[in-house]
Amino acid sequence: MTIIVKNKETLLFEDFQIKCSIGKRGVSINKTEGDYATPKGFFSLGNIYYRADRLKKPISKLNCIKITKNMGWCDDPKSKYYNKLIKIGKNLKTSYEKLFRKDHKYDLFLLIKYNYKKIIKNKGSAIFLHLTKDYLPTKGCIALSKKDFLILCKLIKKNTKIRIK
């Protein structure tokens, strides 16, 4: 089973056609850190992360992890933690994407395993399937409504992949 990002506003999975948004600069085969592009390719999926203070654990066959206030995703190409989940604190000397946010984008998100196993510095990090209310372009992620995201959570399996065209 494969999730297909057909174009900048359509995601397909089985019989579902879901409205989405992607990176401000479209899809790129040559993604780099901070370029506002969504990486083109075929990728595995990781864990689902969720804000337990804002919603209940999603129904899914994937691992679901509660987001805590000290969780971040390293986006610093100079760091040994680049493109990894990190614990943030006062002594951390690296840049990161804060996961416990005031807005609702990361109340629920799914890791797309782009540049994940054999990490190449500056090739892009923190590529997620996350929430949106307005479908504005993202910094490189794929965004869906909460309702559609929760439906997708129920349907996907551990071996589901995503193809970004």
Of 161, 164, 162, 150, the residue nearest 55 (C-alpha):
150
Task: Give this prediction's pTM.
Answer: 0.96
Instruction: Check if the beta carbon of residue 137 is closer than 8 Å to that of residue 21.
Output: yes
- Give the CATH number, domain containing residue 56: 2.40.440
Nearest alpha carbon to residue 108 among 129, 126, 125: 129
Domain that holds residue 60: 2-164
Check pLDDT > 90 for residue 89. no
Give dist(CA 29, CA 49) in Å, integer.
Answer: 27
Q: How far apart are CA 72 and CA 83, in angstroms?
A: 10
How many distinct structural domains can be found in the chain? 1
Beta bridge partners of 10: 7, 19
Going from the C-alpha of 84 to that of each of 30, 130, 153, the distances in angstroms are: 20, 17, 22
List of E strands, the chain: 2-7, 10-13, 16-19, 27-28, 38-39, 41-50, 64-66, 71-74, 85-87, 96-98, 108-112, 128-131, 142-144, 161-164
Of 30-44, 48-62, 89-103, the least confident: 89-103
φ and ψ at residue 43, rounded to 5 degrees = -130, 155
Please write the tens of the pLDDT for every residue from 113-161. Answer: 999 999 999 999 999 999 999 999 999 999 999 999 999 999 999 999 9
Confidence of residue 109 (pLDDT cuts 50, 70, 90): very high
- Please report which helix (H) or strand (E) contains residue 147, including its range: helix 146-155
Integer Cα distance of 11 and 37 in angstroms: 16
Please tell me the distance from the alpha carbon of residue 29 to that of residue 90, in angstroms, as a whole number: 36
